[in-house]
Structure 1
Amino acid sequence: MPQEIELKLAVPDTALAPLAAWLDANGEAQGEAILLNVYLDTPERDLAQARAALRLRRKGAQWLQTLKTAGSSQAGLATRHEWETEIAGEAIDLQRFPAEAQAVLAPMIGRLAPVFRTDFVRRTWLVSQDGARIEAALDTGTITAPGNTAQEPIQELELEWLDGDAAHAADALRAFAARLAGIATLAPSDLSKAARGYRLAGIAEGKPS
């Protein structure tokens, strides 16, 4: 089962430029992309209650569907299961998911509808730490929800373990974050973009946040 291990750090305004400059000097730049994302759920919020998130993402001409299921998050370090596949357009294609993901979505597939959006610019670098290969992704953008004129800013750095010794992935991510602490003040964040989106959508719908 695919597993995502990442460390999320909130980035203040004053840290954006020095952080990007340091990563340019010490990492392998992978470029910049505009990512347009819509998250779906049932009216009863079945996925949210199961601590799962279903996303459609447009990256240039490419469409991706992603399902992330329950995991753990502590001091910004998150571990969870993730399935992602390419699709033809802006609609969930259940058959493109592996069997494990299909089993989660099949009972609710006819009741899924958009709940909120996260749209942002992502700059990425590949970096190394203690034998681990890590993707550093700097995201800046907004979270929006239907019926709510308010927006939440996205301004965060995601450090995702790509390969190396999986048993020490968390240690490698924390060690790299410690190096960045000398460049800027970055606070660990346990709230995913999905969690923040559900909170914003709940306010719009008059539900407890």
Structure 2
Amino acid sequence: MAEELEIKLSLAPANLIKALGWLQAQPEAENGSRKSLVNCYYDTPDSELNHQKAALRVRQAGSQYIQTLKTRGEFVNGAHRREEWEWPVSGPNLSLGLLADTSLGDRVNLARLAPVFETNFTRQVVMLDDGDAVIECALDEGVIAGGGREKPLHEVEFELVSGDPRRLLIWAERLAQQCPVFLNLISKAEQGYYLAGIHMAGSAVGEHTDEQDDLDRFLQRLSNAWLEQERVPLAGLDIQSLRAQAKACGLGQTFASVIEALEAGKPLQDLLAKSDIGRCQLALLANRLGSGA
């Protein structure tokens, strides 16, 4: 079992191309592999795995197959932290014996697992080594399919290989200066479950008000609205506190413009064509991290 730490940014198709060009041009960068990945996710008919906040897939990359189990994990300063188990397997079918030794072995009826949705995309990898951290940048383009529906996929993942985890956010901020990005808390698996009709509206990313601050809740609501294509609810958030934090980052007016548009009911998708939201998301997180909060 390993621990995965990554930041995920959603982009428009044209900006994904721009992001790739910028990353490849950095002196700290080295071009990695380019692969087509076919991923089939499994669960039981009553979604036992999803209720356990885990995702199970078999990935095909060329002639190789990898079976992966991930927990939903937690959101830490813009990054997803998850537990992850990976096993090479001989073909596209699940190897149930490998799951028996995990924490799910006693909690899920493994014999009832069946395909639920797919995420199929092309991945271009760019490796970054800036002396403080080694980061794998995965630029993914493809589709998520489930429940007879499809959703386009265009995103950049910054995953920590080794070194200082704060460098993930630094590199994400640098990219946000080059093109519009959206810090997205919704994983590919959660998008697939939503398309398959398994997630109820508003539940893709839960809120735990006793444990999370206004910034976390704001980011989660943005992500839910992105997934569900709904308005962003702002009630119950301390917007003035967030505005003060944005001002400390030099983005007070930018944040005020974003909030004004959201309060007016402007669709989130319309705002994502500009860089304001992504820059505010990442700057607020960097400010909190820098303050030691």
Shorter-chain TM-score bucket reads 0.7 to 0.9
Match of 1:104 in 2: 104
Map of 1:63 onto structure 2: 65
Runs of 4+ in 1 over 6 A off after TM superposition: none
- Cα distance change of structure 1 residues 97 and 28 upon mapping to structure 2, 3 Å threshold: farther
User: Which residue among 78, 81, 86 is the counterpart of 2:80?
Assistant: 78
In 2, the alpha carbon distance for the partners of 1:174 and 1:129 equals: 13
1:140–1:4 Cα change, 3 Å: same
Secondary structure in 2 aligned to 1:155? strand
Instruction: Give the Cα–Cα distance (whole angstroms) in 2 for the partners of residues 195 and 130 of structure 1.
Output: 34
Displacement of 1:7 in angstroms is 0.2
Residues in 1 aligned to 2:17 and 2:39: alpha-carbon distance in whole angstroms: 25
**Equivalent in the alignment of 2:17:** 17
Q: Select the residue among 18, 32, 35 that pairs with 1:33.
A: 35
Picking from 190, 193, 208, the partner of 2:200 is 208
Task: Kindly provide the amino acid, as one letter, of the partner of residue 54 in structure 1.
Answer: L
User: In structure 2, what residue type is equivalent to 1:134?
Assistant: I
Q: Give the structure with the higher percent strand.
A: 1
Hey, what's the Cα distance between the residues in 2 that align with 1:76 and 1:152? 23
Which stretch of structure 1 is more off in the superposition, 13-22 or 115-124? 13-22
**Cα distance between partner residues in 1 of 2:87 and 2:10:** 28
Matches of 1:109 and 1:48 in 2, distance apart? 13
Considering only CA atoms, is the larger Rg found in Structure 1 or Structure 2? Answer: 2
Q: Map Cα deviations across residues 10-62 of structure 1 (whole Å, 9 max, x no partner).
A: 11123122211112222111121000000000111011111100001000000
Which whole-Å CA distance do the structure 2 matches of 1:130 and 1:49 have between them?
A: 40
Tell me which residue corresponds to 1:176: 171
Q: Is the 8 A contact 1:143 1:153 kept in 2?
A: yes
Instruction: Tell me if structure 2 keeps the 8 A contact 1:28–1:127.
Output: yes
Contact 1:10 1:187 in 2 (8 A): yes
Between 1 and 2, higher relative CO (CA 8 Å, sep ≥ 6) is seen in 1
CA distance in 2, matches of 1:91, 1:113: 10
Measured in 2, the distance between the counterparts of 1:12 and 1:74 equals 25
2:62 alignment partner AA: G
- CA–CA distance in structure 2, aligned partners of residues 12 and 34 of structure 1: 20
Distance across 2 between alignment mates of 1:201 and 1:7: 25
In the TM superposition, what is the alpha-carbon distance from 1:98 to its structure 2 partner? Answer: 8.4
- The one-letter code sitting in structure 1 at the alignment partner of 2:158 is L
What is the CA distance between 1:112 and its match in structure 2? 0.1
User: C-alpha offsets along residues 77-128 of structure 1, whole Å, 9 cap, x if unaligned?
Assistant: 10010011100011111334583x2x41354210000000000000001002
| 1:5 to 2:5 alignment | yes
Give the structure with the larger helix fraction.
Answer: 2
Task: Give, in whole Å, the separation in 2 of the partners of 1:65 and 1:173.
Answer: 26
**Partner deviation per Cα, 1:113-146 (whole Å, 9 max, x = no partner):** 0000000000001002461100000000001114
| Cα separation, 1, equivalents of 2:65 and 2:193 | 22
- Residue 144 of structure 1 corresponds to 145
The two structures have a TM-score, normalised by structure 2, of 0.64
* Number of corresponding residues: 198
Q: Tell me the TM-score normalized by structure 1.
A: 0.88
Which residue number in structure 2 is paired with residue 44 of structure 1? Answer: 46
Runs (5+) with no aligned partner, structure 2: 202-293
Amino acid at match of 1:126: M
Please give the root-mean-square deviation of Cα atoms over the aligned residues, in Å.
1.8
* Worse-superposed segment, 42-51 or 65-74: 65-74
Where structure 1 has 5 or more consecutive residues not aligned to the other structure, the ranges are: none
